Amino acid sequence: MSKSDRHQIIAIVVLGIFTILAILVKIQFAPLLSLDESWLERFQTSAIGQHTLIWHTVTTLGSPVITGCAMVIVSLFLMRTHQWSWAAFILATLVGGDALLLVVKHLVGRLRPIHQVIQDTGFGFPSGHVFSAALLACILITLIVRSLDLNWLSWGLIAVFSVAVIGLMLARLGLRNHYPSDVMGGVLLASGWWLQLLSLVERLPQYFENESEANNRAVKKG
C-alpha cells in the first residue's frame, strides 16, 4: 500500500468519525449532550480549570489569526527555498480549511456554553481555535518528517506541537467557550482535511517530490 493510500484511508476514517459526531451534535443526542455538560463542569471546577489567566493567554496565542499568520510565514519560507508547489498547497489548505470550517459551523449551528468566562461569539462546533492550531500542527509535522525523517529531533518537535494543541483544547474548555465535543471536532476536522488533501498531492510527485529533492541538494551543498 502506498503512502498516499494510507493517508487516504486514515482521512476517510477520521472524517467519518467527525461526520458522526457532527450529526449527533446537530440532532442534540441526549447522551452526548449530558457527557459534554458533565465533563465541562468537572474540568472547570477542577484545580487545572481555575487558571483563567493562563487559559486566556493560551487562547490568545492560539487564535486563528495567529495560527493563520504562521501558515502564511511557513508558505513564504517555502517560497524562499523554491518549494513553490508546497507553498501554494499550504495557502490553498488554509483558505479552503477556513471556508470548510465556516460551512460546518453554520450547518451544525451549535450554541456555545452559557456563563462563558470570557465572552466569545459565533457557533461552537467545531472549535475554530483548535481547528486552526491542529491544522498548523499537521502541516509542520508533515514538513518536519519530510525533511528530518523520524529521528529524536522530529519526535521531540512532534511532541511539542501535540502538547500545544492539547493545551489549546484545555484552554477553550477552561474559558467555557466550547464543549469537549467541540474541541474534539476541531482536531478531527483539521487532521482529516489535511490528510485528505495530502493524499491527493502525494499522487502528483512530479510537482512536489522534485522540488523537495532539489531543496535537499541545495541544503547539502550549503
DSSP the chain: --HHHHHHHHHHHHHHHHHHHHHHHHTT-HHHHHHHHHHHHHHHHSTGGG-HHHHHHHHHHT-HHHHHHHHHHHHHHHHHTT-HHHHHHHHHHHHHHHHHHHHHHHHH-PPPPSS-SS---S--SS-HHHHHHHHHHHHHHHHHHHHH-SSHHHHHHHHHHHHHHHHHHHHHHHTTSS-HHHHHHHHHHHHHHHHHHHHHHTT-HHHHHHHHHHHHHHHHH-
**Residue 71 predicted with pLDDT over 50:** yes
Whole-structure pTM over 0.95, yes or no?
no
Write the pLDDT tens digit of every residue in 33-51. 999 999 999 988 887 877 8
pLDDT tens for 115-162 read 888 888 899 999 999 999 999 999 999 999 888 777 888 899 999 999
Answer whether residue 218 shows pLDDT above 50: no
